[in-house]
Amino acid sequence: MEKTSIYGLTKSQLTDWLLARGEKKFRAAQIWDWLYVKRVDAFEEMTNLPKAGIQLLNDHFVLGTLKEEIAQKAKDGTVKYLFRLPDGNLIETVLMPHEYGLSVCVTSQVGCNIGCSFCASGLLRKNRDLTSGEMVEQLLKIQRNLDRMGGKRVGHVVVMGIGEPFDNFDQVMDFLRIINDQKGLSIGARHITVSTSGIVPKIYEFADIDWQINLAISLHAPNNALRSRIMKINRAYPVEALMKAVDYYLEKTNRRITFEYILLKDMNDHKEEALELASLLENKRSLAFVNLIPYNPVAEHTEYQRSDPEAVLAFYETLRKKGVNAAVRKEFGTDIDAACGQLRSKQIRRKRVRGQSAAKKKGSHYIPIQS
């Protein structure tokens, strides 16, 4: 029987699983406390469970499936982790220090199929979705490291790592329920943000859940021609459909929404695009916030460069003059592999090069690694 990560169960799922096997309901609360408050490394450490209960857990579940491969530490305190999954795939997770506390950026898929032309994450196509347990473990791995170094607590989570969260909707929603549980990791809903490139049907579905978790839209262009050029998803869900879904979300939740906008030199950073963006958000200004993001160049995307500081300032000031709330996002980890997916793709390229070299020496045919 193949064992699964116990971290993939929400509290209600864990309760139902235990009840179906004749266990008392209160056992779920005990196990939950051991997993997320005491953060044990083995079921045997759950000292208020009977031996039969511990054996039941050992028979069906595992604690911990991720292996830390690399931890890149930047001068500003940012740490980028490269984790290896049991099937050999690699994912990235990032710890970022803010003035308001520590935040973790979580990956939701192995690779990405959205195909944004400027993005390092999409250099490698999606291999598979992550399970909710694998997402929870990213956070727990980092929190355990912090526990060993003095007990600082992760207080904020963003699901903005490799992959499109709304393309793995059900698993991401379970992940959010697990980390938001007040008897566990207790990450406040208002301290959690989920980002989407614009999968319109899922925006409606997310709005209908009607919780206080924040939503961010990766927009990056104010019109269909430009957005379709740099983001293939716009061909399926054009700007008009996206904005209609945003209107539904705002009406349903009355919560502020963030629009992510990566500034690309001589591509989407002119005053003309700033005015178009302001016009696009005109009827949403009270609940819209634009996050202007300096571009981290990616070796494989030489056609894109970082906007000049003067262009960034002009874009920002144009939005502000038009009454749009905006800010230029603080950069993290600029002295390491800053762009999302960059560390992972670099390691996979190195492994492929080593494999090709070894194959040439042996005179054998090289088969590329699938990751």
Of residues 210, 216, 195, 211, the one with CA closest to residue 287: 216
| Contacts (Cβ under 8 Å, ≥6 apart) of 204 | 245, 248, 249
Catalytically active residues are: 92, 340
Find all residues with CB under 8 Å of 358, minimum gap 6, and list them.
none
pLDDT band at 337; cut points 50, 70, 90 = low
Per-residue CA distances from 67 to 41, 51, 72, 93, 312 (Å): 14, 28, 15, 12, 39
Give yes or no: residues 58 and 81 share one domain. Answer: no
Among 13, 35, 62, give the residue marking a domain's end.
Answer: 62
**Whole-number percent of the chain with pLDDT over 70:** 87
In this structure, are 40 and 119 located in the same domain? no
Distance CA 55, CA 219 (A): 49
As a whole number, the mean pLDDT across the chain is 90
Position 119 pLDDT exceeds 50: yes
CATH number assigned to the domain comprising residue 127? 3.20.20.70
- 15 with 118, same domain: the answer is no
356: in domain: no
Same-domain status, 114 and 50: no
Strand-pairing partners, residue 236, are none
pTM exceeds 0.85, yes or no: yes
What is the mean predicted confidence (pLDDT) over 296-300? 74
User: Are residues 166 and 114 part of one domain?
Assistant: yes
Q: Which of 43, 62, 81 marks a domain boundary?
A: 62
Same domain, 139 and 9: no
One domain for residues 50 and 76: no
Instruction: Quote the tokens at residue 238.
Output: 């054009």
Same domain flag for 115 and 88? yes
Tokens 């859940």, residue located: 209
Q: Residue 298: inside a domain, yes or no? A: yes
Of 12, 47, 62, which residue constitutes the final position of a domain?
A: 62
Q: 185-237, pLDDT tens digit by residue? A: 999 999 999 999 999 999 999 999 989 999 999 999 999 999 999 999 999 99
Q: In this structure, is residue 274 part of a structural domain?
A: yes
Task: Return the DSSP state at 319.
Answer: H
pLDDT score of 371: 25
The parent domain of residue 238 ranges over 67-349
12-71 pLDDT, tens digit per residue, is 999 999 999 999 999 999 999 999 999 999 999 999 999 999 999 999 999 989 999 999
Q: Are residues 332 and 242 in the same domain?
A: yes
The answer to whether position 52 is within a domain reads yes
pLDDT at 362 over 60: no
Distance separating alpha carbons of residues 221 and 325, to the nearest angstrom? 17
Residue 131 DSSP symbol:
P
CA distance 179 to 256: 22
Q: To which residue do tokens 């390092």 refer?
A: 120
Residue 366 maps to a domain? no
| Residue 248 resides in a domain | yes
CA–CA gap between residue 74 and residue 269 (Å, rounded): 28
Q: pLDDT by residue (tens digit) across 241-253?
A: 999 999 999 999 9
For residues 177 and 243, membership in a common domain is answered with yes
Residue 128 lies in a domain: yes
Type of residue found at 65: T
Mean pLDDT value across residues 63-90: 94
Would you say residue 172 lies in a domain? yes
57 and 89 part of one domain: no
pLDDT at position 356:
46
Asked whether 60 and 3 are in contact (CB, 8 A), the reply is yes
Token pair 């050029």 is at which residue? 229
SS3 205: helix
Q: How far apart are the first and last CA of the chain?
A: 26
**pLDDT tens digits, 2-19:** 899 999 999 999 999 999
CATH number, domain with residue 36: 1.10.150.530
Domain count, the chain: 2
Distances (CA, A) of 270 to 153, 209, 315: 41, 37, 7
At 336 the pLDDT is 61
DSSP strand E in 75-116: where?
A: 79-84, 90-98, 101-105, 109-110
Closest CA to 227 of 244, 245, 240: 240
- Tokens describing residue 83: 């984790």
| 213 plus 305 within the same structural domain | yes
Confidence of residue 256 (pLDDT cuts 50, 70, 90): very high
Give the confidence band of 349 by pLDDT, cuts at 50, 70, 90: very low
